[in-house]
Amino acid sequence: MASDRWLTFDCYGTIMDWNSGMGAALASVAGEQGGALLAAYHQAELILEAGPAWLPYREVLTEWLRRAAGRVGVQLARRAETALVDSWPRMPVFEDTGPALAALSSAGWKLAILTNCDDDLFATTLPRLPVPFDLVVTAEQVRGYKPDLGHFRRFASVTGATQESWIHVGCSWVHDILPAARLGVRSVWVDRDLTGHPAKLAERRVTTMRRLPETVADVAVTPSWLEGRSSRGLQSGLVKQSSQWVANRPPASPGLRSDDEGGATREGGAPKAAVRGVPGGPPPGLAGSSPPGITGCWGWRWGCWGCRGCWGRRRRPRRHCRPPRR
């Protein structure tokens, strides 16, 4: 399995139309206030999932609805707190999902799902998926929820996938794109909700899955910073470079690009000038480099490791941009 090419997907929100399914369930118990309940979901879910003890996802859904109703002042009918769990088998599939997944499967990609869901709830979704998947990792299996790295590490340990052979696809910037970036796994952000989060953590940003096959083919071209890396870094979140352990994101990755309408565009190739008057970035021989697309950053003067702790917006180095004292 280590020689296979893998695409991992978030399920609910990326493949399944989570907002429509949950919105319909909430409208059935709260009427016009269903939209307010849905808006209160995200904060309550993160709080529950980040608790000290793991809770099954059906309990997260039930407790979340109870808390959200109290927050927005909705009086739920008796037993209505299970409305989300009861409606789970009826969640619709995005129309653009089937053709995209079929094309990727025909192109030789192995498909897997990393989902914040229980085994039994996912079993109600499985018959409705437009194509078969080779592997599924659930929150129940890892006893944790994304953005924790448990799903990603379990997948890497089972399949032997490396950064060269693995691309992650997801809708949620918090639950999918951010943890993939922490592990140095390339990603395609399917930004269906147009959240406005910074897209630099993903290799590509699209707003639908209509053009996902050609986007994945573009991202699949192995960049130079991935060559020769092993799966060891995926277990620890770090990769050994030049006798130092550094953050696993590349010191230089292509700039932002959107392959769908309404997004910015990034071009590959040589980096833009990191400092005014220095074409193409820092002079050869200097330690570190400023990631392409982060113009005006002086971090390369201090041996920038590409950790992106400055989010690419600093024009002066912070403390972490400076090399460690010997």
DSSP state letters, 242-279: TTEEEESS-SS-----BSSTTS-----SSPPPSBTTBT
| pLDDT at 99 (0 to 100) | 97
Measured CA angle at 282 (ends 281, 287), to 5 deg: 135
Give the residue ranges of the chain where pLDDT is below 50: 230-232, 236-326
Contact (CB, 8 A) for 21 and 91 = yes
197-225 pLDDT, tens digit per residue, is: 889 999 999 999 999 999 999 999 866 55
Q: How many residues does the chain have?
A: 326
66: which residues sit within 8 A by CB, 6+ positions away? 76, 81
Q: Pick the closest to residue 95 from 133, 128, 135 (CA basis).
A: 128
| pLDDT at 313 (0 to 100) | 45
What are phi and psi for residue 236, nearest 5 degrees? -110, -15
Contact (CB, 8 A) for 96 and 209 = yes
228-245 pLDDT, tens digit per residue, is: 554 445 554 433 333 333
| pLDDT at 16 (0 to 100) | 97
| pLDDT at 242 (0 to 100) | 30
C-alpha 67, offset from chain centre: 27
| pLDDT at 264 (0 to 100) | 36
Q: In angstroms, rounded to a whole number, what is the distance separating the alpha carbons of residues 174 and 304? A: 25
3-state SS class at 189: strand
| pLDDT at 245 (0 to 100) | 30
Q: In angstroms, rounded to a whole number, what is the distance separating the alpha carbons of residues 199 and 129? A: 28
